[in-house]
Structure 1
Amino acid sequence: MLRNYLNWDINATDDSTTTRSGTMTNERHDRVDETAKPDRETERTYRRSTESNGTDDPVSAGDSGGPAPSVSRRTVLRGVALTGLGAGLSGVGGTATAQQSTTGDRFRFVSVPDMFNWDIPNPQPGWEDAIDWFLDRIKDEDPSFVLNAGDVMDARWWDDETQVETLCDQFWGGYKDRFDERNLPLYVAPGDHERGDNDWGSHKLSLVPAFEESFVDIFDPPMNGPPNKQGLAYYFVESDVLFVTVDTWEQDGGSWSLSVTGDQLDWFEGVLADHQDVDHVVVQGHVPVVGPVDSEYSSALMLDGGQSSAFWQTMVDYGVDAYLCGEHHAITTKQVDGIWQIVHGALWGNSSDLNYLVGTVQDNRLVLELKEFLVDYSGGTLQTKSAELGNRSGGPSAEIAITDGSKQNGPQTVETIVIDGCDCSDAASQWVDGDATVIDESTHGNDGSLVGDVSAATGHQGTGQGLTFDGGYVDAGSDASLDITEPPLTVECWVKPGDPASGDGFQPYVVKVPDGGGQYSLHRPDQNHDSGGQLEFAMQSPSGEWQWVRTPIPTPWQGTWHHLAAVYDGSTLTMYVDGQSAASTSTSISMNGSSNALEIGRNPYHTDRHVSPGTVVDQVRVYRSALSPNQLGYDNPRTEPTGNDDAVLWYDFETIQAGGLTLDASMATSGSIQPGSTETIDATLTNGTDAAMEDVDLSVDAPYGWSTTATTATSVGTIAAGDSVSASWELSISGDASDGDYDVFVEASVTTPDGPCCVTSTIDVTVAGPGIPDPVDGSTPTDPDGDGDYEDVDGDSQVTDADLDVYADHIDDPELTDQVEAFDYNDNGRIDHGDLIELFEEMEQ
């Protein structure tokens, strides 16, 4: 049998023909010898004796240690680029060449809170295959470390201190072993379940010190926190990125709170103040601060005081980039006060869609990807230790399995957040924004100014151009043609909402209002409004009478294109959603007059009201007429006004005159590209200002594992007013890149008359491999572990000796040799006996 040959061959082949030794084991992972582990007191003594190393930062490999800059991080504007809005101008070339290859990536990390949130020992029958698959996928992400924002186990172990210490050692220790076995450093934030779960009476409070001591002993965190939170709150710096873990559970005598206050808050502020020179700041804590957030199988704890808490305001003051948290077992992302709060994690054993976050620190930005995979459950309910002790009813499923689709395709990215390190001071950023203008196609010339973070996006038909709003807005001006006070009136637009169905504050789409009153406004109020978060079109008369029409949001909402329109003919006000009349009311009021601008994406009076980040808007139109349903843009996608429909504003966003500094970047290949290919990137930086820009440098940040090589000048000295400069790179796509969509960032840094600044353009890249291979020996092979190699050669959804035999029988046949991408397991570019050995070794594991 072929297996016997391979067993001999692995042991007999010298180093020139194999890359692995011949010693194999049937165990997936060798368990740690418990007898070899030092006792907890020995560990504690050793660790604390090595902590005094002349620095308060025991993990600060990348900390520069320099003085804090005179300008607070909070005074820095980020992401003020107009992505993709350049006019495609030709360049004038530079004088200095810089031909070098770089990935642009410094390191990666993974965040996976609330895993498991049940008492899951190591090993747990019925779970191990799924856990191994997941942790192997985490290892494949190549992280420098893993973050966990708490609730590792259920931990309802309340009898006495001995029980706490024994079960913490068994369950928490076994959990940490899983990561140690894969050389994955683990940094955990204590949650409520790290104290036995909420709520806490006097007996449970008396056990908290035992829980906390075990937590510190087992997870061995940096001991640089405040005196009352040593090992529970801590920080470290990795390659100029500061990571701070806070303890969101605090005790004061016989009471407890979900807070970060007192000595811990003072310490936290001191850490942030001492690290103002880092590139990014990431904070992890167990509970979210700003609601509302989605919850599933959760007690839904939130930080006391929310957005007004001193903890949140401290993060705002010091320019924290991201706050990672869990507790709610569902994903909710929102950017508030410049901080991305990312609630994630899921309840293993109950939730069918599990998730984790991958952070990639590049030279000029922090990219955060949320990934999901699906699981199936069977086998009834597992009795956990907490249930066995009588402290828990119910439990997780006894058996968990990764779905075939997730095994085949791997975890899928469901959201990507890019935190731009492209920094500009307030003064310098004005040269970037310049006076970029969206052209009004009506005869009234109501051209709009793009203000703040607004970028190009694909339009609602999958072609053309819309605008993505990430805190910015469009100012359409206050021309008399827009100051409509008498009917008829029609307002319409296409919207791809960034806010969840549950709401995320006031969403102003097209708004024309005076200070302190109303004129006409198409928007979605927040959940606390008396509309309950429905879609609304509102008008107000000069006497103060309000008139509105409301309708529930359509399903699905977030991330789905919808056409919204309001038509007022002088007797009836009607709202249309996706071409259908959704609600109407009788009215004959006049409207207030206003000298305020019409704005898209912001309320011009309540200037703190912006559409949620990521909202895309297309085809905004305002008419001094009442359009019929078949004249609205849902069924009538006209490309220009007809000349007789009284259009006073017609934005298709196809024509944008870029001002200021603009960067236009593109890739030579259109459509999808294959892993391992090389592509060409071209970029043009245009100086649309009236001043020269100095110290001009262009660069590329590619996805993790990819590389770029400049083929033209990238450092070009000075660009005169009105001039352009171009640069090109070769982009090498990783050979093991998974199918999916990726972002490549092209950046130009300059020195403006008011200081350094930069502008960024994003190229969307779609990677698609060769697809499912043709049949071998009459059967279609599969890729059980989703790594791009089709090890299941005979197509029976498992890797067995039969696959070895089929591979050997056809090793010289076109069925394999013409499909190298699918069957080259040892990545040497050909089909040979080394692939058989690789297949055998993987099967044995």
Structure 2
Amino acid sequence: MGVVLACIPACSFRTADKVSCVDDTQCVTAFGAGAVCRADGFCEGGTAVNPDANTSSNEPWTFVSFPDFLNADIGDVSALTSAVNSTNAAHEAAIAKVLDALAAEHPDFVMVAGDLVNGHWYLDASGVQVFGPVSTRAQKAAAIDKAADLYYTQWKKRFEDRGLPVYAAVGDHDVGDNNWEANTDKAYLVADYKEAWARHFTVDDNGNALFENRPEGTPYEHTAYAVRHKNVLIVTVDVFRQDSPTQTIDSKTGSVRTEVAGEQLAWLDSVLAGAASDPEIDHVIVQGHVPVLVPVRQQNSSGMTMPGAETSAFWQTLQRNHADLYFAGEVHDMSTNNVGGVEQVVHGGIMGYAPSVNYLVGHVYPDRVELELKRAELVYPADTTRLWQAGSNRPRADYAIGPGGFTSAGTLVLDKSSGSTQYLNRTGYFIPLATSSEGLAVHLPFDEAAGSSVVVNHGTTGPANNGTVTGATFVAGKLGNAVSIDNLDRIAAGAAPLVGPVQRTTSVWINTGPGPGTGNGIRTIFTFGANMQNGTKWDVDIDELGKFELGISGARTDATSTVSLANSQWHHLAIVANANATIGTVTMYLDGEPYAFTTTMATTPINTKAGNLIIGHSANSLNFQQYNGLVDDLAIWGEPLTAAQIRALASFANESTLNYDAGELEVMFEGLRDKQDVQISGRLWRYQASGLTGTPGRVVVSGSDYSVNLDNGAGFVSP
């Protein structure tokens, strides 16, 4: 919804008593909760015309940001048809719980950076014609108008009922969803989509703009705008450039390109320059739908970003004019990064599709902005029935907000008290996403007690890869406790610790029997990355025959062994990849020994995208390739371990008098690199530079004496 709070210098703004109306709803849309339509046909009151709203204040105030809310068409269509409906009690209850959480933050307003709806309104996948026929372009345009009026009206009412003013941006689903091939009906309908969106968020019923500060005379004059609230300038941009529906301007997305350019960019530059010289503006926030800086985490998303990243004209404009924050959505997960003093915060979530949802809270002071991300798990039943939508991309019909509700997922302070901007006290998801982590990045021993809801990461990435437990239980394992996973269980352990074509080693102990049901189907033990394109995920699997496999999106290994590992015995699985590896060049190990495989896609490069680390199912989607069985001692290194080191992981764990896990072996590996003695669990291991014999990596036991050859005769002895 649009509210006019203030303009930067040299522009005028519309006040309530200058906006005509026919009912209270129009006034609430324009000026926030409490606005009414007077008998003379003009608006009065509302939170947006509070006398203090346009002036700086030393009193702290709060805002909330929630991109991609809802990213689904959730609304009652029973007045149009009895054949289907696009809402139900489960969806309305989940939405109410989220909005009640937002209202409990007591924000002055809520920002929503696009994808308010699903938006496939030019389709009729079920053939029920809820919004009319869609055979011709004109019919599709009429259906878009009808659907927009229904869904946007109900979407806004949920906020209005809670007194929550909204600043919205256009997302790809608000313009039909990517892609937009030139010379197609969909390309021509982009303008219809934007006009329908503007009718509900930036233009009143008389066609008057609700925001005076906008790129007038451009194609973006009703989808981009700037407004000042107290001591903050908020700028909303339309990142969906289309020059002509007949012109291809992007090889992927067709007639639409995700960028801010031309007249809109010039307007943005002017607005930001004016803010920089305005003493009443302490902070500047810009919102647009797609991330600019990469990599970013993602879940259930096509993952659109802005071409050029930090070198794009858009980012250079933000940087040159000292914008503070850029808020984006699209990818339905949380990531932050900072280039040139501008902080990108990617957040928000899709309801009814993804494993989790999140929002951002900001507390604003004259000299600082305190930010906090909050996240909640979404719980889905075994029933995979989908809720009706005009198109075939449909959310689950039944889901709920997890019993823990929203909890803190990270904090950041934007501090200007020293005269320069500093980004301080980063925690959780505000720690910028790294592309690689040397050493033992992730180590999840799973030694938590029964009933624990969190697993602790003992690797170098620390709490960023702690895991949230959903359904899984803790039982006796290979090394201490293990986690038992079945049915819809999972552990979400933060972001992918390794991104890109970087070197790595993954290691895990498993104990599983036949698969669920018939025993057929691939089961993913753990995964990180995202299922976007060839090579972008890292799924460690047991296949339908019980064999150990690696899947990387578009390519998969196939073990030459016929032995099934689904035999209710403990097995150690490891995979090693050098930098810039292909799936054909990885080395796989079973119980410490090389594990031969073939693949028909040997040259597919490994290029893991930012995503999540999940134990219990594949990167593709929630509970896809669901695992059942025990998992113990998961470890991920940002380096390729040697064959001897892999054998040591299995050998030391199997030696009953030692039972070393990956963390304890990492101490020994570091000692080998440093050529130093080490102490592990009270036992001294003396480094020996040469002369050790025996199979490399296999611990040799002689009475109470132990030795291990780790590198051509170099290794350790104890005592």
Greater share of residues in strand: 1
Q: For CA contacts below 8 A with separation 6 or more, give which structure has more relative contact order.
A: 1
- After TM superposition, the score normalised by the length of structure 2 is 0.50
Scaled by the length of structure 1, the TM-score of the pair is 0.43
Indicate the structure (1 or 2) with the bigger Cα radius of gyration: 1
